[in-house]
Amino acid sequence: MSSTYRDLSVTAADGLRLHGRDYGPVEGTALPVVCLPGLARHSEDFHALAESLSTDEERPRRVLAIDYRGRGRSDWDPDWSHYDIATEMNDLLQVLTVAGIEKAVFVGTSRGGLITMALSATRPSLLAGAVLNDVGPVVETKGLMRIRGYVGKLPTPETMQDGAAILKQLSETQFPAFGQAQWDSMARGTWHEANGRLVLSYDPNLMKLLEGLNLGSPIPDLWDLFGALAPFPVLALRGENSDLLSVGTLEMMRERHPSLMAVTVPGQGHAPLLEGPLIQSIKELIGWTEAARSLSRSPAGL
């Protein structure tokens, strides 16, 4: 276990063990933050953000970063068809119950943003605000086709340096602004060492979920789910080179949401790393959320 977080282990309804990283003070008045990763990613993607939020000198807060089933340190599901948003949302609810989190700001990257939108429609009392990292109510087919081309199909590298080189060759056009440190970070989130060799940090059967999609037909939009976010402050992030969230969709999100903040991340694609200036943007969203909650609880006229 890292000195900056506690390992959280939760048993899902069907008996699978779920893992999460639990940062910062368990008690306190600051809103907690719950981080939900992308399809084939896991809790390590949020380490820089979680450390910054949980150790903030003025207002440290609890941050919980989740490993979905089949990812990171959570158990793999023997039935790959359970890698669906409904099951993963039920797992999340179980984790939140065990962790004692009743309301939070949710930070969702890609798939995590879809789960956040679903949560806002089904369990709105859990949300105080949301960060949608390179995802919206319209998911572009081009991006899904690209993701389907590599999830579960990557060659096995000999070293992490080889892994970083593989990812750079695959995605450099999406992330021309990345330096070696960013490619190394992406590699550490893709593979880990087990029995003296590198293995994927997710169940390769995730590819079956993508292979079952009919990308020759229009993908149903999720505007109704996005509409459920209307009562909450939202920060929408988009990678400048993203092929999953279009410029047009982001503009429509701004038109339909009364208080949406939008940030485009230069030199990055799907999905931007939550580091550097983006951490400050997320802190601003959290501050805005806490101020709005404080104002709503104040007596009228004060």
Residue 53: count other Cβ atoms within 10 Å of its Cβ.
26
Q: How far is CA 123 from CA 77, 90, 120, in A?
A: 25, 11, 6
- Contact between residue 8 and residue 22 where contact means Cβ atoms under 8 Å apart: yes
- Contact between residue 235 and residue 281 where contact means Cβ atoms under 8 Å apart: yes
pLDDT at position 184: 95
pLDDT at position 115: 98
pLDDT at position 119: 97
CATH topology of domain 5-141+220-297: Rossmann fold (3.40.50)
DSSP letter at 144? H
pLDDT at position 1: 46
Report domain extents, the chain.
5-141+220-297
pLDDT at position 299: 57
Report the C-alpha gap between 292 and 146 in whole angstroms: 39
pLDDT at position 217: 80
Report the C-alpha gap between 283 and 249 in whole angstroms: 24
Per-residue pLDDT tens, the chain, 302 aa: give them. Answer: 457 899 999 999 999 999 999 999 999 899 999 999 999 999 999 999 999 999 999 999 999 999 999 999 999 999 999 999 999 999 999 999 999 999 999 999 999 999 999 999 999 999 999 999 999 999 999 999 999 999 999 999 999 999 999 999 999 999 999 999 999 999 999 999 999 999 999 999 999 988 888 888 878 999 999 999 999 999 999 999 999 999 999 999 999 998 899 999 999 999 999 999 999 999 999 999 999 887 766 555 34
Burial class for 144, CB neighbours closer than 10 Å (0-12, 13-18, 19+)? middle
- Contact between residue 232 and residue 129 where contact means Cβ atoms under 8 Å apart: yes
pLDDT at position 258: 84
pLDDT at position 209: 87
pLDDT at position 2: 57
Smallest CA-to-CA distance from 21 within 39, 45, 38 is with: 45
Report the C-alpha gap between 187 and 205 in whole angstroms: 19
